[in-house]
Structure 1
Amino acid sequence: MVDFKVVVSDTKAGRAYNIEASGAAASGFVGKKIGDEIEGGPLGLTGYTITITGGSDRTGIAARRDLPGAGRRKILLSEGFGFHPTHAGERRRKSIRGNEITTDFVQINAVIAKYGEKSVDTLLGKTEEAEAAE
């Protein structure tokens, strides 16, 4: 059985929500690619559509949108996501995951693309009192 931590960002409210996905909800992510839109119903966000923006595997290696495939590869990076050079012209070979979601992923990052009728706080059962206690 596959389990994912899905971090859904709400750009209107400027907040992010951690959602545990297991079973059928997690199986809906396997085989999808970064940039794909999926329905939020299995995550408890009925009426919402979310876009997958990234993720990482169990060792913390991040996935890149522009790297096709499902496996891990060592690629030469000069800038951008996964490597931030300290010197001008610096390049480094780094391990990066492909853009396809597999069972090796632990965390999936997503952003809300289309909003539903109810608020996210209402759907996830979050209230101001519960957040103050945390």
Structure 2
Amino acid sequence: MAEFKIVVSDPKTGKSITKEIKDKSAQTLMGMKIGQEIDATIVEIDGTLKISGGSDKVGFPMRSDVHGSARNNILLTSGVGFRSKVKGMQKRKTVRGSMISDETYQINTILVKGNLVLDKPAEKAKAEEKPAEKAKAEEKPAEKAKTKK
């Protein structure tokens, strides 16, 4: 069965979350293309998501201008999957097509409608760890002073 990591980005706040989906909910994404909108209930969010890209299991990026779901070696001058070092440079690079298949590993999405809710308990856990680290830092200078005498 298919298994994907979905990265949901909220352009309003600049925050993003990653969710893993499997089985039936992953099957609903098969055959979708970059630019299509989907229901966000797949990742337990109210609203809609727009597919903006992704990568396959090896790490090759998906391009919206390459049809199908297969890997292709195409001649690039700019855009996704290529960073030019010199103006006018062309290079043949391997990219994945714009259609989601079972070879796709990560799907990047943008939240079009709805609100992105971040997990609050994770933030509290990080806040509790910080005072403990400060206490350890305070103990160390005291130990150094004892060893110098």
With the length of structure 2 as denominator, give the TM-score of the two structures: 0.80
Native 8 Å contact 1:55 1:63 kept in 2: yes
Cα distance in 1 between the residues matched to 2:38 and 2:98: 15
Task: Note the C-alpha offset of 1:132.
Answer: 4.6
- DSSP 3-state at the match of 2:82: coil
Cα distance in 1 between the residues matched to 2:86 and 2:71: 26
Q: Compare the two structures and name the one with the higher helix fraction.
A: 2
Cα distance in 2 between the residues matched to 1:80 and 1:41: 31
Partner of 1:130: 122
Who wins on radius of gyration, i.e. which is larger? 2
Q: Identity percentage over the alignment? A: 37
Partner of 1:35: 35
Cα distance in 2 between the residues matched to 1:12 and 1:132: 23
Structure 1: 4+ residue segments shifted above 6 A? none
Equivalent residues, number: 126
Task: Note the C-alpha offset of 1:91.
Answer: 0.7
RMSD: 1.4
Partner of 1:5: 5
**Amino acid in the other structure paired with 2:55:** S
Partner of 2:96: 97
Pairing of 1:1-134 with structure 2 (within 5 A):
1-45=1-45, 47-115=46-114, 119-121=115-117, 126-127=119-120, 129-133=121-125
**Amino acid in the other structure paired with 1:100:** M
Structure 2 unpaired stretches of 5+: 127-149
Task: Note the C-alpha offset of 1:22.
Answer: 0.7
Cα distance in 1 between the residues matched to 2:102 and 2:60: 14
**Amino acid in the other structure paired with 2:42:** P
Task: Note the C-alpha offset of 1:131.
Answer: 2.7
- DSSP 3-state at the match of 1:26: helix
**Amino acid in the other structure paired with 2:9:** S
